[in-house]
Amino acid sequence: MNRSYKKGYRFERRVKTYLEKKGYRVFRLAGSKPADLIAINNETIYIVECKSNKYIRKEAKTKLIELSKDTMAKPIIAINRNRKILFIDPIKENKIDL
């Protein structure tokens, strides 16, 4: 297991734990395909892409948005910023609070 993978895995686990504490039921997807996490509560389903390096390729962002349209779930990008989790709406490209 390389260092980059471990860093990404640890960040996914942090995001998962954070969302669970907020009342979401969270599932980690095998091989991060088609996304990293699915988070569900009584009102919303989120498809979550976690980025520990603060960077998401345009193709990955487009794929996440398209997947959300196919599933009626809301896309979210979770970014590790100064050891805090920042959630971004990839459609509106703004910060959101969960």
Say which residues have a Cβ less than 8 Å from residue 1's Cβ, sequence separation at least 6.
9
Residue 33: band (very low, low, confident or very high) from pLDDT cuts 50, 70, 90: confident
Q: In this predicted structure, what is the pLDDT of residue 54?
A: 67
Q: What is the second-level CATH architecture of the domain 3-96?
A: 3-Layer(aba) Sandwich (3.40)
Mean pLDDT, rounded, of the chain: 88
Arithmetic mean of pLDDT, 37-45: 94
Residue 49: band (very low, low, confident or very high) from pLDDT cuts 50, 70, 90: very high
Residue 32: band (very low, low, confident or very high) from pLDDT cuts 50, 70, 90: low
Phi, psi of 73 (to 5 degrees): -90, 160
